[in-house]
Structure 1
Amino acid sequence: MNRSERRTRKKKKKIWVILLLLFLLIGGVSYFLFDQFKAGQSLAGEKPDKDEEDIFNAPEPQYGEINILLLGSDARPNDDEGRSDSLMIGHYNQKTKELKTVSIMRDIYVDIPGHGKHKMNAAYSLGGPELVRQTIKENLGIDIHYFAEVNFDGFPKMVDVIAPDGIEVDIPYKMSHGINMTLEPGVQRLNGDELLGYVRFRHDSKSDFGRVERQQEALAKLKTEASSLHSILSLPKLLGMADSYVHTNLDKKTMISIGKGLLSNKESGIESMRLPIDGSFDEKQRIPGVGQVLMIDFEENSQALKDFLSSDSDNSTSTNKNTDVNTDSE
């Protein structure tokens, strides 16, 4: 065998070794991802059965801008059973990879298509995510493309996977009423169960307004935690848990695309807004058979919402003009 043949044989041998190592690496990574996904499913337990799939007659997203209806719900005694406990719109721009959130107060007095006037959060119990979509379109003039409903039973477990050392918050005063725990004032790190109590507490001077602020704060900090190496490695486990705890019509491809975009743009915070904006509503009024509601100026709030979501808007300008818009990049 001459020198040229020996070189050729060595090259082939190296190539086969590299291919074998690559195969083993891909196999190992695939096994790890699958194992983590199954571990997440195991943590969540059996996926609940649904009698039928939700109808969601949403339009296709345009210009790379996606609006996702984010619903947090559970059914607890002595509460609004079957109603959405929290309601947000997540707005994701596929070009800039930026996320904005809009919190909609649940006591806004709205026209619910086919059902007359009710509180905003009644739309969910009357017709599920599709009727919430129609109600937002009817009253605020924007389209929703997808929905994601999070069961609060799973929220603490998912938080503990994203942030095993907890989320740091500064609790301004003692919180205990209505959350089945006591949170003492001061800077501290909250685990998943405690963070759920923190964002759901509303028995203070700000009532639901304070709760919305805490929800936005928690979401921004969870987004920051999700950008860490630990959380990226835990992503398959989270997807496994989400299979049981998150009911959504988002396809896996879109979910992964949004996740990758947010992780690649980890330096960006979440710009958030609350509806109604300051100065656009009356203090709560009591409506017979409905309870206390917020009467708002829909024209003013609709315009503020469109300006906030516009890709042409200047974020710093909107933040200075509206005290309800905040950019949190902690």
Structure 2
Amino acid sequence: MAVRRRKVRWPRVFVALMVIGIFVVGLVTIFQYIEGTYKAINQPFKKAEADTFQGEKDTTEEVNVLLLGSDSRGEQGARTDTIMVAHYNPQSNNVKLVSFMRDMYVSIPDHGKQKLNAAYSIGGTELLRKTIKLNFGLDIHHYAIVDFKGFEKAVDILVPEGIEVDIPYEMSDGIGMTLEKGTHKLHGKELLGYVRFRQDRLSDFGRVQRQQEVISKLKDEAVSLNSVTKLPEMLDLLHTHIDTNIDSPTLLAIGKDVLTNQGGEMQTIRIPEDGSFKNESYEGIGEVLEVDLDQNMDALEDFLESDLN
């Protein structure tokens, strides 16, 4: 009995090859576009603190970037509302986010025991880097300080339609606006109020949770192909509103990896972890979190060594 040959549908094969070809050409074009844009904007990032920051810069493995949200960049005594470390693994292309509670009672080199955010007020990014290394054993390679106006503009560029969040109750005190309870799409200014709101029923823990939520959603938007067309605006924003010591080649290399291997869901951790701290009050310092440093150092190490893939 003769075997009946299946007829090859060449038009379908041709269309499939065309789609694959367009996709490959598209990726190449995107890379060329990114590289060309970096070369076209021939000016250095603002680096007010780069000369004093001593983090190892030539690491070829995991990269840890100190992320700070501040009301001022590079000024003595400036405060920071947000203390995070973004951890990037070039092997898995995963990004992990560590949030450090600013009220943790820690040892600051040459300044005794104080709240963690006092390190930045006293000695900027370098003293904060040393403090995190001393208390939690974490090496930090780069820093990036984003001012509030820059955060607002970045949100409006990346997500002009806004980011959807579930507001658990009315928020108004100290943020210059009123955010009503319910599910809403917030734009830059409103989203900044959402992450900065201090009168949270969960105290500062609620703020950290909202910060992680928003950063994760922004990361998802940043890796979308649509964001590539917004690259010139984003680079201009970096030059104007961000103080960082990350050079363009490093930023470009990370951006390429994230774009092509979008990784998995961003993992987050809060330090101190549950069950590892207690509330205390000290004269001249106020309310602090007295933490078990060994337990949190172990938790941080386990978190960074684990992988989604």
CA shift, 1:229, in A, is: 2.8
- Pairing 1:146–2:142 present: yes
TM-score between the two structures when normalised by the length of structure 2: 0.82
CA 1:268 to 1:49, structure 2 compared with 1: closer, same or farther past 3 Å?
A: closer
Q: Tell me which residue corresponds to 2:23.
A: none
SS for the counterpart of 2:291 is coil
CA shift, 1:315, in A, is: 4.6
Tell whether the 8 Å contact from 2:66 to 2:140 is kept in structure 1 after alignment. yes
CA RMSD, Structure 1 to Structure 2 (Å) = 2.9
CA 1:90 to 1:195, structure 2 compared with 1: closer, same or farther past 3 Å?
A: same
- Report the Cα distance in structure 2 between the residues aligned to 1:282 and 1:187, rounded to whole angstroms: 33
Given the alignment, which residue of 135, 150, 169 partners 2:131? 135
Aligned residues: 277
CA 1:199 to 1:36, structure 2 compared with 1: closer, same or farther past 3 Å?
A: farther
Trace 1:256-295 onto structure 2 (pairs within 5 A): 256-266=252-262, 268-283=264-279, 285-295=280-290
Q: Tell me which residue corresponds to 1:108.
A: 104
Q: Tell me which residue corresponds to 2:294.
A: 299
Tell whether the 8 Å contact from 1:54 to 1:130 is kept in structure 2 after alignment. no
SS for the counterpart of 2:146 is strand
- Report the Cα distance in structure 1 between the residues aligned to 2:66 and 2:93, rounded to whole angstroms: 18
SS for the counterpart of 1:165 is coil
CA shift, 1:282, in A, is: 0.3
- Report the Cα distance in structure 1 between the residues aligned to 2:296 and 2:62, rounded to whole angstroms: 20
Tell whether the 8 Å contact from 2:102 to 2:117 is kept in structure 1 after alignment. yes
TM-score between the two structures when normalised by the length of structure 1: 0.77
CA 1:289 to 1:211, structure 2 compared with 1: closer, same or farther past 3 Å?
A: same
CA 1:259 to 1:49, structure 2 compared with 1: closer, same or farther past 3 Å?
A: closer
Question: One-letter code of the match for 1:299?
Answer: D
1:181-216 deviation per Cα after TM superposition (whole angstroms, max 9, x unaligned):
100111111000011001111202211100000000
CA shift, 1:34, in A, is: 7.8
Q: Tell me which residue corresponds to 1:7.
A: none
Given the alignment, which residue of 193, 199, 205 partners 1:197? 193
- Report the Cα distance in structure 1 between the residues aligned to 2:238 and 2:33, rounded to whole angstroms: 21
CA 1:35 to 1:53, structure 2 compared with 1: closer, same or farther past 3 Å?
A: closer
Q: Tell me which residue corresponds to 1:85.
A: 81
- Report the Cα distance in structure 2 between the residues aligned to 1:131 and 1:209, rounded to whole angstroms: 24
SS for the counterpart of 2:253 is helix
1:48-94 deviation per Cα after TM superposition (whole angstroms, max 9, x unaligned):
895x754111124656101111111015xxxx961221100110001
Given the alignment, which residue of 38, 41, 63 partners 1:66? 63
- Which consecutive residues of structure 2, in runs of 5 or more, have no partner in the other structure? 1-28
Q: Which moved more, 1:260-269 or 1:157-166?
A: 260-269
Tell whether the 8 Å contact from 1:54 to 1:128 is kept in structure 2 after alignment. no
- Report the Cα distance in structure 2 between the residues aligned to 1:71 and 1:29, rounded to whole angstroms: 29
Question: One-letter code of the match for 1:210?
Answer: G
Q: Which moved more, 1:235-244 or 1:192-201?
A: 235-244
1:17-39 deviation per Cα after TM superposition (whole angstroms, max 9, x unaligned):
xxxxxxxx99x969x9489969x
Q: Which moved more, 1:228-237 or 1:120-129?
A: 228-237
Q: Tell me which residue corresponds to 1:319.
A: none
Given the alignment, which residue of 234, 237, 241 partners 1:245? 241
SS for the counterpart of 1:89 is strand
Question: One-letter code of the match for 1:206?
Answer: L
Tell whether the 8 Å contact from 1:133 to 1:144 is kept in structure 2 after alignment. yes
